[in-house]
Amino acid sequence: MIPYHFSSPESPPNRYSYMQSPYLGQPFLRSYFEVRLGVLRDLVDFGSLKNTDRGGAVLAAKFILDKLTSNTSGEKGPFGKDAPSSSIGFQTLTKEPSRSNYIDTQILITHLNDLLITSRDLSGEIDFEQDIWKLVKQFELFGSLPCYFGIEAPHRERYKIDSDLYFDFAITLCLTFFSSGNFQYISTLLKLHDAILAHGVRMSSLRSYLLTASISFEIQTLRTITASNNVDFSSLDLIINNNEQGA
Amino acid sequence: MLNFGLIAADTVRTRAYLSALDKKSFLPRWTLILRSEGQNSKHYSSTSPPVPNLFEETLDNENPDWFNVDFEPDLELDKWFTDRNLEFEVLEDGDINSVEALRKLEKSDLDMFVYSGFAGIIVSAKILNTEKRFLHVHPGLVPEYKGSTVFYYSLLKHQSLGASAIFLNEKIDEGEVITSRHFTVPENLELLDSVLDPAMRSRLLVEALEYLESGGTASKQSKVGSTFYVIHPTLKHAAILGQHAKAKGSKYDSSGGFPKGG
């Protein structure tokens, strides 16, 4: 048995461990599925949120779970093939330039998630993948996100991995992959989940709900790509079915 | 005959390059060998199949894209150059960005080098500003696929493999393009890193040198694409195993659809 160790507290991953990881065949993938499905089994507890907190983050997570249950293909979405040319986050959030040279990353992510779940046709008018790509770049290079983004450069101060915004960021990555079909977002999502799990981040019920959605999305994507049928996906199917019934 | 030098890290890719160059009699006039214990990727991982079966199992020699592409993974680099009476020097710390590397390159009268460095190392501005040109074969079609491990992203999104021969500049994979091409995707991708990648790059390297020798010139990239980061190992496995699944008639939909599992 090849252990999936990237989310293990004993050996938190870094850029080099990802880069130097060899191909280990089907057993590696099986181990990944088993570890992540085990996390899902421990997480599922979002009934308490049903009639209480229905804020933006929960709506975003619900949106993702709905996508998993609706059996519909992702559309090309708001992003074309080319790199984004403008940045909706700064355009819409820096309304007062005198005090808005920096944007709080949490506010930026919340705003992006709102846009991603509410926008129906963004093509041509607004293109905010550039902002999301900035977040991806920061996480890929440093394993964390800056507290603020400046017009020219991100702030040096950084959010620790046990901050709420990483759970929201996972949702952003799911939504953006769904819109764009760009697998960079799934790759970063996998690394983000590894980091959260390896650091043993404390779980509130809101965090559990968000993580359940993003991990379900991740597993289902991998399951679909690989057409894996030698793994027991019952815990994932249970989440999908429960969401379907609750919809 | 094209006059060029070679920057050659002690890797499998360099061995593939030497084999391809030798077959076409494109021999580097001077070579700087980069050797580093920590970075040496000459040998295969313990999970790789035995070397004698490597090419039979991996490359489809009836396919024109992969025909006549082979190399000796255990070739002794120093001996290879000595046997051919070719000049070379060794940089024991393997650092292309070192002062010593800079000094050696500045001393050379060659104005073009084929670059075969260690993976993940970015050539510094100091080296790039020596007024030499550095020909690099990138394992992805630019500008769509720039950055690291892009062949996996390309496989996942488009079920295709490609490579681009470019001249390095200060921006990652944004230099002028000499030539680029698609490669048909073999069914067995298990040795993508250690065999197919160097095989693919060596094939395109020779084509790029032939193009330059015939008077061809490089051209600027037409648009800005995305720069990718090291792919997560799970997704790498998915790209390889997904190809197997596709060969068996999987229902995978590359548009990003999520057929309900079962």
Q: Which of B155, B193, B194, B234 to mutate to test the interface with A (most CBs of A within 10 A)?
A: B234
pLDDT in tens, A120-146: 444 443 457 788 988 999 999 999 999
Q: What global pTM score does this model have?
A: 0.83
Q: What is the token pair recorded at B241? A: 């195993």
Instruction: Give CA–CA dist A102/A81, Å, rounded.
Output: 29
User: How close B230 comes to chain A (CA, Å)?
Assistant: 6
- The closest CB to that of B258, out of A4, A190, A224, belongs to A224
What is the count of residue pairs from A and B with beta carbons less than 8 Å apart? 143
Cβ atoms of B197 and B13 closer than 8 Å: yes
User: How close A98 comes to chain B (CA, Å)?
Assistant: 32
Amino acid (one-letter) located at B54: L
DSSP code per residue over B189-217? -TTIIIIIHHHHHHHHHHHHHHHHHTT--
pLDDT in tens, B176-212: 999 999 998 887 788 888 888 998 999 999 999 999 9
Question: Are the Cβ atoms of B156 and A28 closer than 8 angstroms?
Answer: no
Instruction: Give CA–CA dist B41/A33, Å, rounded.
Output: 29
Residue for token digits 């559990």? A208
Instruction: Give CA–CA dist B187/B198, Å, rounded.
Output: 17
Cβ atoms of A73 and A118 closer than 8 Å: no
Question: Are the Cβ atoms of A225 and B226 closer than 8 angstroms?
Answer: no
Cβ atoms of B226 and B41 closer than 8 Å: no
Minimal Cα distance from A85: which residue of B?
B224
How many residues can be counted in chain B?
262
Q: What is the token pair recorded at B45? A: 């991982």
- The closest CB to that of A73, out of B231, B236, B256, belongs to B256
- The closest CB to that of A19, out of B157, B230, B255, belongs to B230
- Burial classification of residue A245, based on how many CB atoms lie within 10 Å of its CB (0-12 exposed, 13-18 middle, 19 or more buried): exposed
Among residues B229, B161, B147, the alpha carbon closest in space to that of B189 is found at: B161
- Tell me the Cα Rg of chain B: 19
Instruction: Give CA–CA dist B150/B141, Å, rounded.
Output: 9
Q: What is the token pair recorded at A10? A: 């004993």
Alpha helices for chain B (secondary structure H): 12-23, 54-58, 77-83, 99-107, 125-128, 150-158, 197-213, 233-247
Q: Which of B146, B153, B235, B246 to mutate to test the interface with A (most CBs of A within 10 A)?
A: B235
Query: What single-letter DSSP state applies at residue B98?
Result: S
- The closest CB to that of A23, out of B120, B232, B240, belongs to B240
**Whole-angstrom distance between the N-terminal and C-terminal Cα of chain A?**
39
Cβ atoms of A208 and A45 closer than 8 Å: yes
Alpha helices for B1-119 (secondary structure H): 12-23, 54-58, 77-83, 99-107
Instruction: List the beta bridge partners of residue B34.
Output: B9, B91
Amino acid (one-letter) located at A237: D
Question: Are the Cβ atoms of A182 and B226 closer than 8 angstroms?
Answer: yes
- Burial classification of residue A24, based on how many CB atoms lie within 10 Å of its CB (0-12 exposed, 13-18 middle, 19 or more buried): middle
Question: Are the Cβ atoms of A181 and B238 closer than 8 angstroms?
Answer: no
Tell me which of B69-78, B80-89, B98-107, B194-203 is least confident: B69-78
pLDDT in tens, B145-165: 999 999 999 999 988 899 999
Cβ atoms of B227 and A182 closer than 8 Å: no
Q: What is the pLDDT along chain A (247 residues), one digit of tens a residue?
A: 678 999 998 877 887 889 888 889 889 999 999 999 999 888 865 555 454 454 566 667 777 777 766 544 444 333 333 333 334 444 444 444 334 577 889 988 988 888 887 764 444 434 577 889 889 999 999 999 999 887 666 777 899 988 999 999 999 999 889 888 899 999 999 999 999 999 988 888 888 888 989 999 999 899 888 877 667 788 788 777 776 666 5
The interface pTM score, or ipTM, of the predicted complex is 0.83
Q: What is the token pair recorded at A236? A: 């994932």
Query: What single-letter DSSP state applies at residue A23?
Result: P
pLDDT in tens, B1-31: 799 999 999 998 999 999 999 999 999 999 9
Among residues A222, A181, A69, A30, the alpha carbon closest in space to that of B256 is found at: A181
